Amino acid sequence: MTESAVLAAQIERWPIAGHFTISRGAKTEAVTVVAEIGRGGHVGRGECVPYPRYGETPEATLKAILSMQEAVGRGLDRRALQAMMQPSAARNALDCALLDLEAKTSGKRVWDLLGRPAPRACTTAYTISLGSPETMAAATAKVAHRPLLKIKLGAEGDGARIAAVREAAPRSELIVDANEGWTAANLEPNLAECARAGVTLVEQPLPAGEDEALARIMRPVAVCADESVHDRASLEGLRERYDAVNIKLDKAGGLTEALAMADAAHAHGFGIMIGCMVATSLAMAPAMLLAPEARFVDLDGPLLLKRDRDGGLRYDDSLIYPPEPALWG
């Protein structure tokens, strides 16, 4: 008789080094929820970040995870999970925990189980928080040796901000994330300023659902959907507005959907960016399987924390290495 699986979950709080500021506000800690599924002496783990932008809270996410205890005990698998839960942070934690458990039980790496390319060390973006041009330039100067910087914009005066950042990091590749902070009125001037600064990509300049203007203009910089894209079902309507999509496991509801979404995005002709919330290496590790598909990898969450969890991913400056089996997968 097969031993039943046991589900546990908890909320964790991880202090951020300094503060993390975007157009919607600032925070000083990352609040994550970790799911653990144990069976036969093995424990699979998955970490998620509830996102207030989508009405998620840590408490509700924890409750949603624990509501699956009976299903997990009956042998819930990833396919059934997709049908039982809508895409969410909670489903991400469970999906990743089930994958980790499968890998640990089989003694195989998760990419071999899924028939995906083994991830290799790759360059991650490093985020510069939103602030005054002077503050952002000073922060940029400290990390100007990094090859890829992600610049948070989305407020009045963004032209001055990106110009100051470019002066502070003349050799770095720059990508911008406006976090829905621009308007149809300032979209073209801001894109022009980004083009002038040599920005490669601009993420989600307009609010989701109010981004029609992107289809009516000449885009001098490639534009990437973030809040406007969630899973495969959301891709079709974006083709005239965006050049790329940012795939995040918390939005997609887990690695299972994220991998399928990456395949579908390629078929639709989108470039791919792999993104993250501010979280520990346990949340970044599954996303590493998407890195071979991506033009941009943005998995710097642990670099923004005061400390990562023990046994976390290896970061060599901006170079991020695949997870060891003890961490995940």
Residue-wise pLDDT tens digits, 207-245 = 999 999 999 999 999 999 999 999 998 998 899 999 999
Read off the pLDDT of residues 131-151 as tens digits, 9 standing for 90 and up: 999 999 999 999 999 999 999
Lowest mean pLDDT among 22-31, 156-165, 251-260, 300-309: 22-31
- C-alpha span between 223 and 282 (Å, rounded): 29
Which tokens is 9 given? 């979950």
**1 pLDDT band (50/70/90 cuts)?**
very low
CB 99 within 8 A of CB 286: yes
Q: Which long-range contacts (CB under 8 A, 24 or more apart) does 208-217 make?
A: 208/180, 210/184, 211/241, 212/241, 213/184, 213/187, 214/187, 214/240, 214/241, 214/242, 215/240, 215/241, 217/187, 217/188, 217/191
Using a 10 angstrom Cβ sphere, with 0-12 exposed, 13-18 middle and 19 or more buried, the burial of residue 81 is buried
Task: Look up the pTM and report it.
Answer: 0.95
Task: State residue 228 phi and psi, 5-degree precision.
Answer: -80, -10
Domain 6-114 class? alpha beta
**Topology of the domain comprising 122-320:** TIM Barrel (3.20.20)
Read off the pLDDT of residues 252-279 as tens digits, 9 standing for 90 and up: 999 999 999 999 999 999 999 999 999 9
Read off the pLDDT of residues 183-208 as tens digits, 9 standing for 90 and up: 999 999 999 999 999 999 999 999 99
Count each helix (H run) and each strand (E run) in the chain, helices first: 11, 14
Clarify whether 152 is annotated catalytic. Answer: yes
- C-alpha span between 43 and 260 (Å, rounded): 25
Report the DSSP beta bridge partners of residue 12. 32
CB 190 within 8 A of CB 207: no
Q: Give start-end residues of each CATH 3.30.390.10 domain in the chain.
A: 6-114
- The catalytically annotated residue of 104, 152, 251, 306 is 152
Average pLDDT, the chain: 96
Non-local CB neighbours of 48 within 8 Å, separated by 6+ positions = 32, 33, 34, 35, 61, 89, 90, 92, 93, 96, 249, 250, 279, 283
Read off the pLDDT of residues 4-43 as tens digits, 9 standing for 90 and up: 999 999 999 999 997 787 766 778 999 999 999 999 999 9
Quote the pLDDT of residue 2: 64
- C-alpha span between 242 and 236 (Å, rounded): 11
Q: Give start-end residues of each CATH 3.20.20.120 domain in the chain.
A: 122-320
- The catalytically annotated residue of 104, 142, 150, 248 is 248
Q: Can you say how many angstroms the Cα of residue 198 is from the centroid of all Cα atoms in its chain? A: 24
